[in-house]
Amino acid sequence: MVTLLDASEARSMEGGPSFSLANRLGRVAWAIAWLLLARWTPPPLHRWRCMVARLFGARIGKGVRLLPSARIWWPGNLEMADYSCLGPHANCYNQGAISIGYRAVVSQGAHLCASTHDIDDYFNQLRLRPIRIEAYAWIAADGFVGPGVTVGEGAVLGARGVAMRGLEPWTVYSGNPAVALRRRAFRNAPEALPHAPCWAEMAAPEDLPEDLPEDLPEDLDA
């Protein structure tokens, strides 16, 4: 359980804590456990690392890929659905809750930041803002997802893109700040996946440009 302290009472700007003593001790135990039990393990040992994270409260489904170099601030604030992925050197800064949906991928070096500070508060109070990455979404290499953002189902944030507001479902984004480039739909989705649209079923989100490019490089991670 993450207990956020009042910055005016804890004097956080003067070196005081932002979280309860219980939380801080729990995170020390987590850091030690990950270092000793998971950080050095070969990449294929995903099930072992998922088990370690579950011991500290992470809610992790089956077939999840959790890489040893990924960083998780507190497992109790992490939910990963079946077959999702947290890639190499990804930073899951989940002071606020972060959920990663079914078959969603967070690629190498991506940064998920689920907290911010109240810049109009003299004491710079920390605010927790949950992040939700929905099913089939992809955060490409070095992408940044900011506090309170929902990445819609099937959305793509291209390499080094910055998402500071919600991304529409089944839409490809790139840039800083992220802008919509085109719609996305699987060419070969199995019929058993009713939420994966075909091109004929796509409706353009309001923020898409009128002159959408017909195609983009397939590998946005390049």
| Domain chopping of the chain, boundaries | 14-187
Task: Give the Å distances, CA to CA, from 179 to 27, 53, 59, 61, 70.
Answer: 36, 34, 32, 31, 27
Say what the pLDDT of residue 189 is: 75
Residue 80 per-residue DSSP state: E
Q: Are 52 and 37 in contact (CB under 8 A)?
A: yes
Nearest Cα neighbor of 49 from 75, 24, 29, 28 is 75
How much is the pLDDT for 198?
Answer: 47
Q: What architecture is domain 14-187?
A: 3 Solenoid (2.160)
DSSP state letters, 1-63: ---BPPHHHHTGGGT--SB-HHHHHHHHHHHHHHHHHTTTS-TT-HHHHHHHHHHTT-EE-TT
Tell me the pLDDT tens digit for each residue of 171-189: 999 999 999 999 998 888 7
What span, in angstroms and rounded, lies between the C-alpha atoms of 140 and 161? 8
Mean pLDDT by 10 residues, the chain (222 residues): 89 93 96 98 98 98 97 98 97 98 97 97 96 97 98 97 97 97 86 52 48 49 42
